Structure 1
Amino acid sequence: MTDTATPALPEQLAEIREDFLALTERDRLQLLLEFAGELPDLPERYASQPGLLEKVEECQSPVRAFAEVRDGVVHFYATAPQEAPTTRGFASILAQGLSGLTPQQVLDVPEDFPLSLGLTRAVSPLRLNGMAGMLTRAKRQVREQLP
């Protein structure tokens, strides 16, 4: 008998979550800050026209993001200011964790993924809400691009 109720978390997101959960709370915050420094640069078509990226209203910082489906693969792009490292870290986690997945894999990511990183006592609920907002937008944007 197989369990079909909940799809498995995609490998790269599962690895990111395991990396966080293997650390103490203080070290988890440090890892989040390391992710902030790894936010991928935008491709030129978005860097020259940031209005193509959607503003993430749930974020206190000016964050823009877009999930693009190209050739059956999702690419997640985001911008967040250097002076907002936790927000940048969350954007980077999603950029690294969602990019390369199929649309269905992105749609199957649990809504509570941000809460599963073990950061609920290390960062404010508003910041976690911002990451959830980025994920919700990514899923909606992927859904809108499906045939």
Structure 2
Amino acid sequence: MNVLHEPADASAEQAQAAIAEEFAFFGDWTERYQYLIDLGRKLPPFPEALQREEFKVSGCQSQVWLVPSGDAQRLDFQAISDSSIVSGLIALLLRVYSGRAAAEILATEPRFIETIGLARHLSPTRSNGLAAMLAKVKQYARDVSA
């Protein structure tokens, strides 16, 4: 059973602002990629038993598993990838969306992607994977809201 942690930021919008501040600290994309990799390494351990087809995110070049738990009042996510940069992207997505109400998840557009320059610096396949992960998060939120 996963242990629920309170989100680091009070709201999804505050999480996005904090991410933008953190990335602004780095001078170039080499440093930003290293920071992303470091964030990915800090993801909590992901149970091998959850690496099942039903939780796999299609549309990602690397392997990604995203597991929801909770309800419309609070939806938590666990996720992992076999790619270090994608794991960093997961860490950012979880910071913004995990531990939030479904309504907040659905209302929050991922502005941090553009703000920190990810949209311009990810390969097309990683951009597609990020979009697929985001779509899955939003779909889980819609499912528990129904």
Q: Same fold (TM over 0.5)?
A: yes
Tell me what 1:58 maps to. 59
Tell me what 2:8 maps to. none
Tell me what 1:18 maps to. 21
The CA deviation at 1:68 is 2.8
**Identical aligned residues as a percent:** 27
The CA deviation at 1:9 is 5.1
Tell me what 2:109 maps to. 110
The CA deviation at 1:137 is 0.6
The CA deviation at 1:112 is 5.5
Matched AA of 1:137: K
Q: Does 1:33 align with 2:32?
A: no
Write 1 or 2 for the structure with the bigger share of helix.
2
Work out whether residues 112 and 132 of structure 1, in 8 Å CA contact, stay in contact via their aligned partners in 2. no
Q: Does 1:123 align with 2:104?
A: no
- Matches of 1:108 and 1:18, distance apart in 2: 22
The CA deviation at 1:100 is 1.8
Work out whether residues 114 and 132 of structure 1, in 8 Å CA contact, stay in contact via their aligned partners in 2. no
The CA deviation at 1:59 is 1.1
Structure 1 outlier segments of 4+, above 4 Å: none
Give the length in aligned residue pairs. Answer: 135
- Matches of 2:144 and 2:135, distance apart in 1: 15
- Matches of 2:142 and 2:113, distance apart in 1: 20
- Matches of 1:52 and 1:71, distance apart in 2: 24
When the two structures are superposed, what TM-score results if normalisation uses the length of structure 1?
0.77
Matched AA of 1:60: Q
The CA deviation at 1:71 is 6.8
Matched AA of 1:40: P
Work out whether residues 114 and 131 of structure 1, in 8 Å CA contact, stay in contact via their aligned partners in 2. no
Work out whether residues 71 and 144 of structure 2, in 8 Å CA contact, stay in contact via their aligned partners in 1. no
The CA deviation at 1:61 is 0.7
